[in-house]
Amino acid sequence: MRYLAGLLLLGHAFVHLAIWLPPYDPRRHAFDAKRSQLLINAQVDERGSRRAAAVAAILVAAFFVLGGFATIRGSSWANDITAGAAVMSMLLAALYFHPWLSVLIVADLAILVVVF
């Protein structure tokens, strides 16, 4: 079972990269994941907002990858790093909120429930 859980965490990491790293194309994407209304209201330019989204997504994905491999190995710290990744993911989704990202938030909440 821990192998399946670890693989799901690895998949979740790659979903983050797939959401936040590709350039926005209105013909292919339902919304611009790198556009944060909160950051725009805080006078952060669009380039800075996009850069922050990419860096945060890479960081969150790295934590999920660590959590996934730690889960597969059965490491004692797997739950801690996975919980941290889920919380960071929810903060990222909240900062760049779009209704489509609600699915991501629900997945992160499910991860937290399983971890604790």
Contacts of 3 (CB under 8 A, 6+ apart): 72
Q: What is the pLDDT of residue 81?
A: 96
Count other Cβ atoms within 10 Å, centred on residue 68: 23
The whole-angstrom separation of Cα 21 and Cα 50 is 9
How many structural domains is the chain composed of?
1
Do residues 100 and 31 lie in contact, with contact meaning Cβ atoms separated by under 8 Å?
yes
Contacts of 39 (CB under 8 A, 6+ apart): 48, 49, 52, 95
Residues 9-32 have pLDDT tens digits of: 999 999 999 988 888 787 777 777
Q: What is the pLDDT of residue 26?
A: 77
pTM: 0.90
Q: State residue 109 phi and psi, 5-degree precision.
A: -65, -40
The range of the structural domain enclosing residue 95 comes to 2-22+31-115
